[in-house]
Structure 1
């Protein structure tokens, strides 16, 4: 297992397009739901236990070698809002470009051919982890970290929040990251016996609503 590849995949400088997305933080800041480090922590924890859990399970399942097209369909079913589906596929397309350049594989090529407009980002993330020689739990960790690091980084720009405070929020969330990553990988491990529907389908309706509204903003700093 090439564990050092995890550092590359989870690095914020990996050219997968995440810097252009706020993880819903931009509309949350505008609505006053994120105002400071404490409210950022609450927001990230809620996102982690809903969309983060779903993304991590999908990524872990793809790393295990389950059918990526079936997983992409499962991701669609768990993403009811068109704006979020569009963002997930755009991020997946960019992740695919970076992954194929970094860890070329026939499996990545096949998924890129089957989904030329982009598969859902967590599925591509899992396939990238698989091509890099990582384990399902590694992919789950990468997914959950992205879930909270994107809003934290965006809030530094949106609110001029002290970067030290934002990093401290991520550190305080570490135990939650451990639990969610483990739960996601465990769910992925049950697919062979229980089928793909065993994957989590946790929802975050407020995130869905604000994402769709944010997509219609005439001027915005982040794509999502």
Structure 2
């Protein structure tokens, strides 16, 4: 008889884990990210993003602030730190009410997709404790853990997501050449690696050591964007 497949314990390497990372990082993973611009829509309207050069500057700044913070939270969740404490830490690192609401909405959508794809008791417990949604990076890290991925995988996924959404949004907002937008992301790859490495190091040091890199302009424009009567993206 063929032995029944076994499910590895959360956070332990699993066969096909690298393929699971591709699924989790895929922009088509049904977690709702496609509806959000990561602040790019407000930056385009304000004239701060006009071409691929401006996009590169915007993405670099976002990566080292919101991206670093999200990557560290995701790495910590994948490492097995208390997700409820991490959710509180995420709240403390998100001063904008609009961005907190967005993070929880995206977390709720990520949770639905993750529980359907890699069901586990840890995801169920967080969903029960945070029925209105936990912060998206925390859910992302726990999803990575349930898929047999490690903290470095979760950090890379969160860091990449922090800039890829903005790049995709600007293609739609400005009719920017998608080859140029993809080139921006490709040239950021070494910095993505460094941010992910820094995030993992912080996660190993505990919740109090997690970075709280601030991006005040993203917070301010997020509040203004939430009040727009007409917009292409939810945030």
TM-score by length of 1: 0.98
Q: What is the 5 A alignment of 1:1-224? A: 1=13, 2-191=17-206, 196-224=207-235
- TM-superposition CA deviations, 1:1-39 (whole Å, max 9, x none): 222100000000000000000000000000000000000
Give the CA deviation at 1:140: 0.2
Partner Cα separation in structure 1 for residue 96 and residue 160 of structure 2: 23
Structure 1: which 5+ runs fail to align? none
Partner Cα separation in structure 1 for residue 52 and residue 182 of structure 2: 10
The SS at the match of 1:133 is coil
The SS at the match of 1:49 is helix
CA RMSD of aligned residues (A): 0.4
Partner Cα separation in structure 2 for residue 83 and residue 197 of structure 1: 24
The SS at the match of 1:166 is helix
The SS at the match of 2:18 is coil
Give the CA deviation at 1:197: 1.3
Larger radius of gyration: 2
Give the CA deviation at 1:48: 0.2
Structure 2: which 5+ runs fail to align? 1-12
The SS at the match of 2:169 is helix
